A and B are shown apart, each in its own frame.
Chain A
Amino acid sequence: MRIHFKTSYDHDIRLFPDWWSFSIYAALVIVAVILPWLLGDFFLGEVTNVLIWAIAGLGLMLLTGQTGQASLGHAAFLAVGCYSCIILMEHGWPFLLAFPAAGIITGLFGTLFAIPAVRLHGIYLAIATIALSVLADDIIVLLDPWTDGVSGKFAPVIDIFGLEIERWSTPARFYWLVLAVTILCTLAYRNLLRAPLGRAFAAVRDSEVSATAMGVHIALTKAAAFGLSCAITGLAGALMGFFAGAFNNETFSITISINLLMMIVIGGLGSIHGAFFGAIVIAFLPQVLSMVTDTLGGGIAIPGLEMGVFGAILILFILFEPMGIYGRWLKIRTWLELFPFARKDMFRRQKSYLKTERLR
């Protein structure tokens, strides 16, 4: 059992509470860096996929887990990031400029969408974002001269100072690129949470009335959350485009939006770990299911099985572990750390009653 003896306020917001947790994360990063020498190309591709989903998950987590605004339309922002990065590169921008620019452009789009969206609450926001996601598909087709509509686009080869990076011919380099972006995004997210803005996000999530009373400007905070969340999502979208190689209007469908939201719920809302756990589940579930059907059913393909199982897992999580995989891990860790003294009802949920939102 570790005891944190805090002697200054800075201790509360340190990146790592002690040397032990710092060394764990450092070891994790080292393993991640040397992974290309440990795994074959297929599994390296899978891990790259996990990391890309995790970045997208971080983006949505900032909005949904941290600020409490459920969005079912983040695939639209993935598409904005992807298309803007590729189109800029086709106009001769180098990757190192086009990639951050794609994030900024997507962030601006997100802020633009936030102008009407900050007035919406709960279900109305969810429905507005669904509409956005459905519209994105049609708008990509309508913008044919830029996006090539239904026929789609191909991702060019990334060139960083003469170093060529491509998903199929140089999977290890592409993996390192994605890993670097992941680490940068995670650090940015973690630092944001320590800053006043991150605290304001959490305040808005927990109670808008109390946040206002504490001097937080609700609309500005929500708009900032939308902008930052969409910027991260846009980066993930650009990487997704490079990972897929080719994409068109149907690549970023509403299913992706829904999967993204489901993913962070399974992982654990409101935690960085949750985005990663959720990404692991969503990336490996199809592989595991196909392995199971191969061994048990003799290779019969059951259409729709994946989504059915995914839905069932999600229902079980919401009913029995609303904090997701990370919440379960937290319980296990607490139990181990406190070993003989852990009590059964430590994480018991408070009883709550719903009131109407029609009276405000």
Chain B
Amino acid sequence: MDILQLLVSGLANGCVYGLIALGFVLIYKATEAVNFAQGDLMMLGAFVTLGLSNAEYVGLPFWLAAPLAIAIMAGVGYLLDLLILRHIFGQNQTAVVILTIALGFVLRFVAGAIWGHEPQTLQSPLAMGDIRLGGVVLGMADVAVIVVTVLLTICLYQFFQRTKLGLAMQAASQNQMAAYYMGIPVKRVQGLIWGLSGAVAAVAGILFASKGAIDPNAGLLGIKAFAAAVIGGFGSLPGALVGGLIVGVIEPFASRYLAAGYSQIAPYALLLFVLVFRPHGLFSQVRVKKV
């Protein structure tokens, strides 16, 4: 029963990592770049929801505030691309890495300036109540996180496999110039994917804030989500979810069964281990091209 309880709470945490990792993968799949500010976007999404729904700020009902926050974050994502990332369109990945790290600094500063640096809690209807299944206690928030993450992953996977826009996004990432020749508006597609990943970040933020307090440094969780995305292989959506679940499940087990100092290094050690032996993740999409 003990093991089952650890497993369930690990899965719920893992889903949050998986959601952030989904944001990484979305942008990677469509633009071949990694958004190092994804964790900070999640933090911003959580704070926007908090600002809209908590009684001491605007005080909207939660079910109105959440979709509104998701829409706002989609707009923020689109604007970030329009105003900043489009300027370095076509340049190599390292430039994008450095740019998005800097963006994360700025987002953290903005959130701190607006909402302060103290941890705050979201007054969320998801945070109330527990469910008991046999001896396992499940928070409502945990159930919500798991359900939403699985649904979102399936929807996004279908979006990339089935729809015209999803295919266009994959084409744009593989070869920008060839995609132009095929009539794909590459820049607009890039803007749309940033909007989409902003929305996913907002969902992750709402769910994360329902599970506990948030502060402007919550975005540093993104580093653990890197572990998730790398373990899953950056190009794969289900891989991101699986990677998130692996990291999430390892954490509680490591802190239960390993000595104190060793438990928090477990996810990063796993990350390095995967990079050493499978440099492109478990669900690798790298193929060697024959010249």
**Could you list which residues of chain A lie within 8 angstroms of chain B, going by C-beta atoms?**
68, 70, 116, 119-120, 122-124, 126-128, 130-132, 134-135, 138-139, 141-142, 254, 258, 261-262, 265, 302-305, 307-312, 314-315, 318-319, 322, 351-360
Contact = CB atoms under 8 A, between A and B. Distances in A.
Contacts of B91: 322, 352, 354
Specify the main secondary structure of chain A where it touches its partner: helix
A355 B175 contact: yes
Contact of A314 (B93, B102, B230, B288): B102
Most buried by A among B275, B287, B288: B275
A318 B289 contact: no
B55 to A, nearest CB: 25
B84 A120 contact: no
Nearest to B264: A138
Contacts of B235: 358
B97 A135 contact: no
Given A123-B34, A304-B112, A352-B91, A358 B174 contact: yes
Contacts of A312: 102, 106
Contacts, number: 155
Specify the main secondary structure of chain B where it touches its partner: helix
Nearest to A303: B117
B176 interface: yes
B173 A356 contact: yes
B159 interface: no
Interface string B254-273: 00000001101100110110
Contact of B109 (A304, A315, A318): A304
Chain B's interface size range is 35 or more
A120 B275 contact: yes
B110 A308 contact: yes
Nearest to B117: A303
Contacts of A120: 275, 279
B82 interface: no
16 contacts: A70-B94, A120-B275, A124-B234, A124-B280, A134-B223, A135-B268, A308-B113, A311-B103, A314-B102, A315-B102, A352-B90, A356-B173, A358-B174, A359-B174, A359-B289, A360-B286
Given A119-B279, A138-B265, A305-B109, 10 more contacts: A122-B92, A126-B97, A308-B113, A310-B102, A311-B101, A314-B105, A315-B99, A353-B177, A356-B175, A360-B288
A307 B262 CA distance: 31
Contact of A307 (B84, B97, B108, B279): B108
A309 B31 CA distance: 27
A155 to B, nearest CB: 25
Contacts of A302: 113
B95 interface: yes
B289 A127 contact: no
A135 B270 CA distance: 11
B117 A304 contact: yes
B32 interface: yes
B279 A130 contact: no
A308 B108 contact: yes
Contacts of B173: 356
Contacts of B112: 303-304
